[in-house]
Amino acid sequence: MWIGSHVSIAKGFCAAVEASVAMGANTFQFFTRNPRGGNAKALDLEDIAKGRAIMLEKAFGPPVAHAPYTYNLCSARPEVVVFTMAHLEEDFSRLQAMGVDRVVLHPGTHGGQGTETGIRMISENLNQLLPLAEAAGVRILLEGMAGAGSEVGAKFEELEAIIKGCGEHPSLGVCIDSCHMTGAGYDLRQWSAVQNAIEKIIGWQRVGALHLNDTQHGLGSRKDRHARLGEGHLGFEGIMDMMDAIKDQPLPVILETPNDDAGYAAEISWVLSNI
Ligand SMILES: [Zn+2]
């Protein structure tokens, strides 16, 4: 099983790998740049090579990049869409240099334009980005959201509509999040039904990452407040069926719980010894 946490790459790629090894992880997630957007630091290829060597030695699974929260492919403000497109294009080539093959992207917030318009805008903009992602060997994973505010992509059908709008492009996948799915009304205690819905509506082969978080709010709350494993609405028992079903799959599992490295280490060890 590939499991790790979200880590900072402020001190470089290799430091992120080393921090992950220290917490017992064999994958990790990092922001492609400052999560509030802005400029990315120049890449240190030597540092990346050092990190890759450790990953090889420790048999790491694929790491996961996460796009900044400021990106929005369905903003009513054209300059935000332009900013998102330009930065994503740059992110693809940076990820290619790092040997990272997947990036999680929040589909977008429509800001009152309506879900249908949001889905159409996201598809149209992705249609321009996907050939660039494909050329860089990067798969865009649209994250399933809780449905807070005007977020697009809480329902599996909305993700499906975006994927269909992109001609089911092979470089487009999804990232599922246990906190967000609960907020969106999917009961993980009935995991086989949820997995069947994903299979039927999206296609399980499109799932490229799982965010493993407990949630401060209940089923269908449309709220996105992560909690530590076992300390939220799901509890340990709420994730057991899901973890049991996915443990043998080639899927990076990423913790985004409110934690420090010691807390992540404890969660990883709990998952590995109980699943
Ligand atoms: Zn996310």
pLDDT in tens, the chain (275 residues): 999 999 999 999 999 999 999 999 999 999 998 877 678 888 999 999 999 999 999 999 999 999 999 999 999 999 999 999 999 999 999 999 999 999 999 999 999 999 999 999 999 999 999 999 999 999 999 999 999 999 999 999 999 999 999 999 999 999 999 999 999 999 999 999 999 999 999 999 999 999 999 999 999 999 999 999 999 999 999 999 999 999 989 999 999 999 999 999 999 999 999 88
235 C-beta neighbours (distance < 10 Å), count: 14
Half-sphere exposure (Cβ direction) of 28: Cα atoms closer than 13 Å:
28
Give the distance (Å) from ligand 1 centre to CA of residue 114.
21
Give the distance (Å) from ligand 1 centre to CA of residue 64.
11
Give the distance (Å) from ligand 1 centre to CA of residue 256.
9
Q: Give pLDDT, residue 37.
A: 67
Domain carrying residue 57: 3-274
Give the distance (Å) from ligand 1 centre to CA of residue 106.
6
| Angle between helix 78-98 and helix 115-135 axes, rounded to 10 deg | 30
Residue ranges near ligand 1 (ion) with Cβ within 5 Å: 143
Give the distance (Å) from ligand 1 centre to CA of residue 103.
10
Q: Give pLDDT, residue 254.
A: 98
The alpha carbon of 245 is separated from its chain's Cα centroid by a whole number of angstroms, namely 19
CATH number for 241: 3.20.20.150
Give the distance (Å) from ligand 1 centre to CA of residue 235.
21
Give the distance (Å) from ligand 1 centre to CA of residue 224.
10
Total number of domains constituting the chain:
1
C-alpha angle 264/268/274, rounded to 5°?
145
